[in-house]
Every structure is written in structure tokens, then in C-alpha cells.
Structure 1
Amino acid sequence: MSTQPRRRAAALALAAVPFLVLTACTGGGSGSDATAGEDEELTLTALDYYTDEPSHTNMGDRLNACAAEVNATVEHQSVPSNQYNSKVLQQISSRSLPDILMVNNPDLPQFAETGALRPLTELDIDTSAYYESVLNVGKFDDELYGLAPNVNSLVLFYNTTILEEAGIEPPTTWEELRSAAEALTTPERYGFVYSGQAGTEGTWTFIPFLWSNGGSQLELDAPEAVEALDFYTKLALDGFVSTSVVNWTQADAKDQFAAGNAAMMINGPWQIPSLNDTEGLEWASVPIPVPEAGMDVVAPLGGELWTVPVTDPERERRAAHIVECLNSPETQLETALTNNTVPSNREVARQLIEEMPEMQSIVETVSTAYPLTGDSGTKWPIVNEAISVALQSVITGQADPQTAMETAQAAVSK
């Protein structure tokens, strides 16, 4: 795989709440033939981690609405997210996977590597309208295994009132971001905030800086990676970002921004409802600044994938129809409007912008985004921990960027 993802215009994957209103599905792939309704009735099984209500019931209704188009019903089971991977791995081991399996996208390489998932290219599912970047999220070893109806990513949110009063334009480059963060920092307010907490949230927030600078998750001691870490952490070491970010989740960063304690933040569109509910807060967003003007930001994509485990041809055919139905344009737009996500279908994403202009920067970011595990594959858990430790060690003054990344690379190379 390329060590410079930005040349392939292609967590914590954050779950979109399932569909709240049922709409008719349209599909032109495996399950759209006229004889589908004449098949013998079949009961299929599905597994996800939507245990909360009404999410569980809504998803069950959606699955069965899609299944009805191919004369099938679905037995729907949800397992808590903290138990999900162990459940799936046990089912893989015992060859008892369901017919339809939801996968958190960073986990796809781990499951696909076992051979338990059917490549969707073998099931005649039409993906021609999808962003290439979104299709890449569902790939392992260049084979498509999963489809994400909707995705999300990260952008730079800014307080429009604060920036306008300071006469500062939203930054688009690293130099502009640093200058703006410095100018907007006061004794009562930091110029910028992000999640630096140990774990996926902190790592995920840093990844756009690594990738946009041409760095790779598997070459963490390379100059591009060290430079990205140096720029990112120096904002905190120089006082423009609170060093307390080492303890802050993305929700904590949002709270600081919403309270006026920071003028800008990196976060995702799942924070939009809370921001809109904050009295007196005027905000907007732009893509995350890049090293130099004219570059594309390369941010990681979040979202769940629907996959078809290996069973038998007839079950797989009907399961593939359901997966395609779950990805219908109507459902994608409905979900995007409800949950502030981006449809995987390019045309539907354009419709979203017309109805929700505030999603413009998110849609723009998705078009050049990259799978979170795109250059790390099954090594992602190791990479995640290594980058997390590097971030923490630099911000807390325990190591310089070069040493921190050399240590991180040593962990990844084991």
C-alpha cells in the first residue's frame, strides 16, 4: 500500500444511529430481479451492536423491510459493542456467522483476513455511484467486502464571532492554523483544542496531520511523520492548546469549544446537534488545514460496514440484496439528515449539502478521505497504541517528537 495516502484520493469509528423512519428501498444489483419474490421463503440472520432503543427496533424493521423484497425475514440480534468483536471471532471460529454482519470499519481487515466474508464483487452489487474513498473503507487486500451507507470524518470547527472580532479568516494551512491559534489565545481562552486522550479518539484526531503531510502509519519515524507530530504537539507546548488535552475526549474538546474556552477545534459532525443547542454559539467549519496551500486534506473515515459472510449461494444472494437495500439512496439521505453523516453515494451527498449547507466541509473532506486502517491493515491496534503513546509523551514533556516516533516505530515493527 502507498505510504503517502494523500496521493490516493481515496475508531474509533463512530456509530450513526440507525434509521428512524422506513422508506422504500431501491436496488439494481443482486436482489433486484423480477423473480426474487417467487423464491421460497427464507429466514436470514443479522448481527450488529445497536443494542439501545429505539435503534435496535428501527434496524430490525429496516432489515425486514429490505428482506421482504426477496421473500425473506430476518432474525436480528444486537450485541453490546464492547463484546462485539469477541462474539464475531467466536462465530468465525465455529463457522456460525449470521447471513448479514455489521462491521466497525477498523475491524474489517481482522475479519476479512479469515476468509469468512464473501467479496461483494462476487454478488453483483452496484457500487458505481459511491465515492471511491468510501469503497476503500470496505476493502481488504484490494477486494471489496463491506459497504457503508453513511460515513463521517473530522473537520475544523471555529467560533465565527471570535474570529470575526479578531479579523482572522478560517485557516486553511498549517502556518495559518498556528498563526490563528496564537492570535486567538488569551488568558481566558485557548486558540485551539483537540482530543489528545490516550486511545483511538486521540490517535484519530492526529491522523489527518500525519497523512496530509505524506506520512504513513507504518513509517512513524520517517521525516513526514515526525514533522506532523512536531507541528501538532508544539501548539500545546507553546500554550495555544491546553496540555490538558491529554485527558480530553472528543466530547470534552467540544465542551471546551462550546463554552467559549477555545476558538477552534477539530471534531466530527456528530457534535453538530450539541453545538446547535448551545445558546449564543455561532459556529462554522472548514476542512482541516493542510501543510501547504493547494493540498488535499487526507482524514480518516468513520462508519459501519454491512458485509455478507460466507454461507451458501442462495442465502448470500438474498443477504446481498438486503445489504444493497440498506445502502439505498433514500435511506442514505434520510440517515444523513437525521444523524449528520455523509451519504456514500456522490449524488446523494450533493443533495445533503442543498438541505444542510453546514455539512459542506464534511462532504468535501470525505471525497479525499482514507480508511483508518488503509495503510496499517491488521496492524492498526498496534499502530493506534504506538501513536497514542507518542502523542502523550511529547505533550507531557517526556520525549521530543523524533524520539517519540522512533519508539513508536519500534513497537510497530515488532
Structure 2
Amino acid sequence: MTRRHLRLAAVAAAGALALTACASNGASTAPAEDGEVSGEVTMWMYPVIKDEAASKEFWAGAEADFEEEHPGVDLTIELQPFAKRDEQISAALAANSGPDLALVTPDMAATYLNVGGVQPVGEAIDDPDVFYPSTIEAGTFDGEVYGVPIFQNIATNVVNTKVFADAGLEIPDTWDDVLEAAPVLAEQGIAVMDYAGTTEQTLNLSFYPFLWQAGGSVFTDDGTDVAFDSKEGVAALEFLVDLQEMGGLPADSATASITIEGSPWAAGKVGIHTNGLPAELAPLRAAVGGEGVEAALPFEDEIRATFGNPGLMALTSINKQQNREAAYAVLEFLSSKEFQTELSVASGNFSSRTDVPAPGEGADYETLEAALEYAIPGEPNPAARQVMAALAPYIQSALRGELSPEEALDQAADEARGILDRN
């Protein structure tokens, strides 16, 4: 993605954020004369550890551990809710009041870079080669790194093996396998796979993995146009519509929620839960009696692909020169093998580092770790969320049979291009 592309997608707050950046950017300051890094750093962290009490305990410990290593730095870690995270950080940047460091997604990093809200952090990463390449690439723009990856999400298929064994079928691995198994299972009232079509579900965990598997992408390579209306995009949506028509998806897939309780999966009426996250494995297994459930690699068509989004710690334009070295020290701490090992265990997420073990043991985690090879970190484009919101209802229309896949994507693309033009 080029800076030219990023500027094309400037948001209304660009002027305010640009002024903020100009006021605070500059060369990093040298450490104190005695060689000890000093300063004050505020960090906004979000609930990557789902249990609230465990989260508070972990981050309080992390703050204490860091300050023990760097007694000259006053680190304050403030726990924030995920709700309206983007709006919260944007408002803080515009007001030049808020965190020095904040946890962001790749598309958020692209947006904030576009308006001067984040600063390079590459020098805080001692050895980029120990990280999964996709986690570094997700926060890299024009050769500069703007996000230190501190963990890695991964989604993949979760299979009810009993469904396929009872039908005398192999577990599907490719789209062709899915299409072959679908009518056999449909005769028994079972969907070969599920699909969460609600607009509350991110397309990163619904339509986009199929788009990527077909060899397509949401945006063009330079990011100046959408590309989901390509032949690959049509093929991906046709795959889902064909499955719907042959009973290969649950009847309510166009609007289905992401809940497990009371779902067709829990009733034993689904063979594969698509795009499942590690934290879902235990409840998915429990929902069908505790046995016969295992993780599997994502489907393959033109390529094998799935969604795997890194958590990026960004250095904001609020950070002042006198605290720059202190912020770098925090980033180095967060990217270390020791810290990421602890975070991986506490959160259940994979580390962004290749030298940190999986957060659990057994076949499931071996498969999840193998799936990291096929992870795509979403679409790091400043307009990604707006385009996603425009596209989702048209995917629903196709699944309901109101529009053909080609008509749905053409109409969605017209709306999405209007978004890009306005930005």
C-alpha cells in the first residue's frame, strides 16, 4: 500500500491529527546521562484476555515487571473496552490527549498513518526474522513498520468428525470435497458447514476467507479500488449460494448469528464450523457432547487461506520526544520472547513470534499452529471497515436469493467505490 493510496482515504479529522503529529514528531531523544531510560508512558490495552479479573491481574503484573526492569520509566497500562475502540483512539489523537501506545488492527494503523497519528516503531524490534512474516507485513507501509505485533489470532475449520464418519465420508479439505459431501449430508438433514451471515459478524470471519481461497482480494494491489467484484469474488459467492441451494448450509445462514448455544452446530446438524477461533474449540466441543470434534486446516480452492489478524502496538503522535526512548523500551518489552510466552498462555492467542510455543498442547493446537502459514491479516486499508459494512448486506441478499452473486457484488462495488471517492 502506498502513501499516495493512504492519502486518498483521508478522514475528516485529518487536519486536527496532522497538527497533532507535527507538534510531537521528531528524532528520538537519547537516554538519560546515566544510561537509564526515563519518562512516562501511557498504554491502552484491550480485553485480549477475556476474563476481566485475570486481565487486570496480568496487566498489573506486566506493568510491575517492566518498571522493575526500567525503574526510570513510569508505565501506566489502562484497560479499555473493545466497543468503539476506533472512535476512542481517533478522538484522543485529535485532542492530543491519550495514550503513547495503543493496541490497533492493521486497517486502523493504515488509517492513523494516513492522518499523521502514528509513528515508526521498527527500531523497537530487535530481530524481525523471529516473527511470523505476515505479522510484521501487516503493519508495514512504504517500508516502515508502524505496529509491533504482540500476538496473533488464527481462525480455521472445526469439524464434527462423527457427522462424516456416520455418513461414510472423508472430512472435506477442498471446495470440491465440500460440494461432493453437501448433498449426501443434506439428505440426512445435515449441513456440510455453517456460515454466519449476520452483519454483526466481521467479513474477515465469514465471506473474506472464501474470497481469498478463490484467489481474490477485497482491494486492488495499490488499494485505490475494490476488487471483490472480480471473477474470483463471484466464484466465492457462487460457492456459498450453491451450497445454500443444495442444503449444504443451515437454512438461516444469511442472517445466522455467531452464537453456539441453540445453533444448528449444537443440534448436531452441521459438519464443519468455519473460521473458528481457538477460544471457540472448547465450547464447540462441549456443545456436541465433548467428543469427536477437532480442528482442521482451512479449505483450499485456488489457494488455502484463512484469517489471522495480529495485534499491533502502535506508537501514537501523542508521544513526545522526552518520552520516546521510554516508549521504545515498552515496545521492546512487549515484543520479547519472555513476555509473549506469558501473554500467549494467559490469552490463549498465539504469539507473533515463531520461537514461542503454542498456547496449548495436543492435536488441535498443532493444527492451529500449522494454519498460521495460511493466515491473511485482513485488508489493511483505511476504508476497510466502511467497505465491509457496504458489502455485507449484499452478501445476505445473494444468500436469500434476492440477487445473483454477480448482481450482488456489482451493486456492492458501486457503493464501495462511492465510499473510496468520498474519502
User: What interval of TM-score do these two structures reach, taking the shorter chain for normalisation?
Assistant: 0.7 to 0.9
Correspondence for 1:49: 46
CA distance in 2 between counterparts of 1:329 and 1:299 reads: 25
Equivalent residue runs for 1:19-38 within 5 Å = 38=35
1:403 equivalenced with 2:412 (yes/no): no
Correspondence for 2:154: 153
1:60 equivalenced with 2:70 (yes/no): no
CA distance in 2 between counterparts of 1:93 and 1:134 reads: 27
Which of 267, 276, 281 pairs up with 2:291?
281
CA distance in 1 between counterparts of 2:347 and 2:41 reads: 28
- After TM superposition, give the deviation of residue 330 of structure 1 in Å: 3.0
| CA gap 1:236/1:141 in 2 versus in 1, 3 angstroms | farther
Correspondence for 2:354: 346
Equivalent residue runs for 1:81-230 within 5 Å = 81-123=82-124, 125-202=126-203, 204-217=205-218, 218-230=226-238
TM-score, normalised relative to structure 1 = 0.82
CA distance in 1 between counterparts of 2:321 and 2:125 reads: 12
Q: Is the 8 A contact 1:148 1:305 kept in 2?
A: yes
Correspondence for 2:331: 323
Q: Is the 8 A contact 1:203 1:388 kept in 2?
A: no
CA distance in 2 between counterparts of 1:265 and 1:287 reads: 12
Correspondence for 2:7: none
Correspondence for 2:74: 73
| CA gap 1:281/1:325 in 2 versus in 1, 3 angstroms | same
- After TM superposition, give the deviation of residue 74 of structure 1 in Å: 1.6
For residues 58-83 of structure 1, give each alpha carbon's deviation from its aligned partner in whole angstroms, at most 9, with x where no partner exists: 22331332243222222222333223
| CA gap 1:338/1:171 in 2 versus in 1, 3 angstroms | farther
- After TM superposition, give the deviation of residue 413 of structure 1 in Å: 1.2
- After TM superposition, give the deviation of residue 353 of structure 1 in Å: 8.3
User: Where do 5+ consecutive residues of structure 2 fail to align?
Assistant: 3-27, 219-225, 419-423
- After TM superposition, give the deviation of residue 344 of structure 1 in Å: 1.2
User: Where do 5+ consecutive residues of structure 1 fail to align?
Assistant: 3-29
Which of 349, 352, 375 pairs up with 1:369?
375
For residues 115-171 of structure 1, give each alpha carbon's deviation from its aligned partner in whole angstroms, at most 9, with x where no partner exists: 221211244543220111111222344431112222122211111222223232222
- After TM superposition, give the deviation of residue 41 of structure 1 in Å: 4.7
Q: Is the 8 A contact 2:190 2:269 kept in 1?
A: yes
Aligned residue type for 1:387: L
Q: Is the 8 A contact 1:92 1:116 kept in 2?
A: yes
Aligned residue type for 2:42: T
- After TM superposition, give the deviation of residue 199 of structure 1 in Å: 3.7
| CA gap 1:284/1:213 in 2 versus in 1, 3 angstroms | same
For residues 294-327 of structure 1, give each alpha carbon's deviation from its aligned partner in whole angstroms, at most 9, with x where no partner exists: x3x2222234221222323452222122122223
TM-score, normalised relative to structure 2 = 0.81
Correspondence for 1:22: none
Q: Is the 8 A contact 1:36 1:70 kept in 2?
A: no
| CA gap 1:203/1:347 in 2 versus in 1, 3 angstroms | closer
Correspondence for 1:412: 416
- After TM superposition, give the deviation of residue 257 of structure 1 in Å: 2.0
| CA gap 1:97/1:143 in 2 versus in 1, 3 angstroms | farther
Aligned residue type for 2:397: S
Aligned residue type for 2:121: L
Correspondence for 1:260: 268
Aligned residue type for 2:348: N
Correspondence for 2:255: 247
CA distance in 1 between counterparts of 2:280 and 2:262 reads: 7
Q: Is the 8 A contact 1:237 1:243 kept in 2?
A: no
Correspondence for 2:308: 301
Which of 36, 39, 62 pairs up with 1:39?
36
CA distance in 2 between counterparts of 1:225 and 1:37 reads: 59
Q: Is the 8 A contact 1:300 1:371 kept in 2?
A: yes
